[in-house]
Structure 1
Amino acid sequence: MDVSRRRFLGGRAPLPAPFRPPWSLSEPLFLDRCSRCDDCVKACPTGLLQRGESGHPVADFMQAACTLCGDCSRACPTGAIASLDGADVPGPWSFGIAIGEGCLAHQNVECRVCGEICDTGAIRFRPRLGGVPLPEVDNTSCTGCGACLAPCPVVAIQRVATPTAPEGS
């Protein structure tokens, strides 16, 4: 049997790592340190953090957004979620958002729900001649809270990885 056909019929591409709580360590370190105690899940005031299939916590942005309160970090007894008490704390996640062509505004249908819910103003709508305003994303202002993801009626907003600073910078 042709290997490529076997891969097509039986093989599956590996799934991307799930989104962990904000300020989580890298996936291998997180999995090594997380005891699956659910303390972070219980501490999350919005219900964003859920117990995943493996028992590790996952951030489910279709259920809630993150307020970036840090309760999960303070509740974590193992250090799988970085302490926010340090002087050089990185951002909660290394992702921003992108709005795809499926967006209603790209179909010339008025919709601004994502911009209205974005507290930081990372999604703005600029007027344009001959059509409804189109969304523009400023990922430098995006906190990664995920508030814009669930309300999008056509699921046109996707998380995209943002470059991280090299070690030691």
Structure 2
Amino acid sequence: MVDLNRRALLKGRLRPGSSPQTQPIRMPWLIAEDAFTDRCTRCQACQQACPEQIIIRADGGYPELDFQRGECTFCRACADSCPEPLFRDAGEAPWQQIASMSETLCLAHNNVMCRSCEDSCEPQAISFRPQAGRVARPLIDPDLCNGCGACVSSCPQQAITLTKTSEVPYGG
């Protein structure tokens, strides 16, 4: 089994005593991370099959999603192209992750008009709350967010990331 946090420490991306890096975002319907790193042959078939070209070769040669390149359309091309049994059935939920926002980086939270995340959010999971005397601020509805990542690449400040739902504090 490959310990990606250890690899991050050795590459200088994780400082001793700091919290471990979050797991990379993998493809939808993928099995558990430990089982994935044990069984993935790093053949890159999923990367070549992705019509959106958002799968990149990351640490250790493992595939990872890069939402700066675009969004996931949940087409299952990655799963269909994989020669290994690494993906769950299409009938299951693709993943348990939602968008989260950094208030310090978000332009709207810094009183600058920007609604690019709302404009790119097809499931309309991002809405803006009016604020008296201030620019409206974004609110992410975790029940509507499908984790497609469209808002990530559209944010000019890179204030949005996708996070596993167990790591996200609800309430906006």
Q: Alpha carbon RMSD of aligned pairs, Å?
A: 1.9
TM-score (norm 1): 0.80
How far residue 69 of structure 1 moved from its aligned partner, in angstroms, is 1.0
Post-superposition Cα deviations, 1:27-68, rounded to whole Å, max 9, x if no partner, equal 111112212121111110011111223121111112221111
> Which residue of structure 2 lines up, in the alignment, with residue 143 of structure 1?
146
Task: Output the amino acid matched with 1:151.
Answer: S
Which of 158, 163, 166 matches 1:160?
Answer: 163
Q: How does 1:83-94 map to 2 (within 5 A)?
A: 83-84=89-90, 87=91, 89-90=92-93, 92-94=94-96
Q: How does 1:106-125 map to 2 (within 5 A)?
A: 106-125=109-128
> Which residue of structure 1 lines up, in the alignment, with residue 33 of structure 2?
27
> Which residue of structure 2 lines up, in the alignment, with residue 48 of structure 1?
54
Post-superposition Cα deviations, 1:69-118, rounded to whole Å, max 9, x if no partner, equal 1111111121112232xx4x12x222112222221111111100000000
Q: How does 1:4-83 map to 2 (within 5 A)?
A: 11=16, 13=18, 14-83=20-89
Query: Is the 1:72–1:81 Cα contact (8 Å) retained in structure 2?
Result: no
- Specify which structure has the higher proportion of helix: 2
Percent of aligned positions with the same letter in both sequences? Answer: 40
| Structure 1 residues 144 and 53: CA distance shift in structure 2, 3 A | same
> Which residue of structure 2 lines up, in the alignment, with residue 99 of structure 1?
101
1 CA distance for matches of 2:66 and 2:100? Answer: 18
TM-score (norm 2): 0.79
How far residue 145 of structure 1 moved from its aligned partner, in angstroms, is 0.8
Unpaired runs of 5+ residues, structure 2, are 1-14, 168-172
Which entry has the higher C-alpha Rg, 1 or 2?
Answer: 1
Query: Is the 1:40–1:73 Cα contact (8 Å) retained in structure 2?
Result: yes
How far residue 12 of structure 1 moved from its aligned partner, in angstroms, is 6.5
How far residue 15 of structure 1 moved from its aligned partner, in angstroms, is 3.1
Unpaired runs of 5+ residues, structure 1, are 1-9, 165-169
Between the two proteins, the alignment pairs up a number of residues equal to 151
Which 10-residue stretch deviates more, 95-104 or 137-146?
A: 95-104
